Amino acid sequence: MLRLLVSALLLACLFTTCQQATNSATDEVETTLAPASAPATLASAKVLDPAAVSILDRAHEAHGGQRFNKANYGFTFRDKQFEFITEDGTELYSSFYEKEGKTYYDRIEGGSFYRLIDDTKQTLSEKETNTGFEALNSVIYFATLPHKLRDPAVNLYTAGTATIKGKAYDVLKVNFDEEGGGVDHDDNFLYWINQETNRIDYLAYDYKTNKGGVRFRSAFNPRVVTGVLFQDYVNYMAPVGTALIDLPALYEEDKLKELSIIATEEVVQLD
């Protein structure tokens, strides 16, 4: 079983030091975008498309539903150990890894990022803080989809239906408010929700950083761990400017370039 990432003494140190915060988030996997953490409830002040909310609600339930509100899971991703804890609206993300013979412990709590190297708290530059926040937040964000699509900064729209490899899908469009949506709030996402299982089988997004890009992901290896669904993804790219809605057809025609495998391993529920 994945061991707990930090001792009680280390936790005490983190609770009393370092109050840096950031709103940006960029996936360390390969320039993938994820907005900053926020309470996982749909915004009450905005009017959302009821049909889009219904699609998301079904997907959220199929992936774990209320179990996300009180969860403690660990997993390995690319030789790093990750843990996320959610309880009563409080979210804590952490990662533990070794680099150049040193032990790193990264943590996000209350929107603030902390780092310890060999049990010593680090004073980080703004760039280091942002980069660390982005790397940790993005891995948890995508591992727990569609949980964070219920954040207040999220805008939901229906985008019709589609058939991919003989299966029927509802298409959900997502973008973000500038306030609370992170530095990449102007990026766009599409999610293809299986009409039979209500699971996210495919997703796509575009982004503008680093000269921009278009990505498409196909889910595989679904498994349910104590009520929460975890999936891995094959990550594809398409030319900049390709319409997201066109990506499934290009995928079926084998016209997308495979970039990487996004896999969470050794997923366990922690005590």
* pLDDT the model gives residue 15: 32
Residue ranges covered by each domain of the chain: 8-269
Sign of CA dihedral 73, 115, 92, 28: negative
* pLDDT the model gives residue 176: 85
Neighbouring C-beta atoms of residue 266, cutoff 10 Å: 11
Distance separating alpha carbons of residues 146 and 156, to the nearest angstrom:
12
List the one residue out of 231, 244, 167, 240 whose CA is nearest residue 200.
231
DSSP state of 185: T
Q: Give the CATH number of domain 8-269; options: 2.60.40, 1.25.40, 2.50.20, 2.20.200.
A: 2.50.20
Task: Answer yes or no: pTM beyond 0.75.
Answer: yes
Distance of CA 256 to the CA centre of its chain: 22
- Element holding 250 (H helix, E strand): helix 247-252
Whether 128 contacts 20, CB under 8 Å? no
* pLDDT the model gives residue 69: 87
255-258, Cβ contacts within 8 angstroms, sequence gap of 24 or more: 256/216, 258/234
Three-class SS state of 143:
helix
Residues 6+ apart with CB under 8 A from 225: 73, 267, 268, 269
Whether 178 contacts 191, CB under 8 Å? no
Whether 109 contacts 115, CB under 8 Å? no
pLDDT in tens, the chain (271 residues): 434 444 333 333 333 333 333 333 333 344 344 554 443 444 445 778 999 999 999 999 999 999 998 899 999 999 999 999 988 778 899 999 999 999 999 999 988 999 999 999 999 999 999 999 989 999 999 999 999 898 888 999 999 999 999 999 999 999 987 554 454 556 799 999 999 999 999 999 999 888 889 999 999 999 999 999 999 999 999 999 999 999 999 999 999 999 999 999 999 999 7
Whether 175 contacts 189, CB under 8 Å? yes
Neighbouring C-beta atoms of residue 115, cutoff 10 Å: 22
Backbone φ/ψ region at 18: left (φ over 0), alpha (ψ -120 to 50), beta: left
**Token output for 103:** 């032990």
Distance separating alpha carbons of residues 72 and 137, to the nearest angstrom:
16
* pLDDT the model gives residue 184: 53
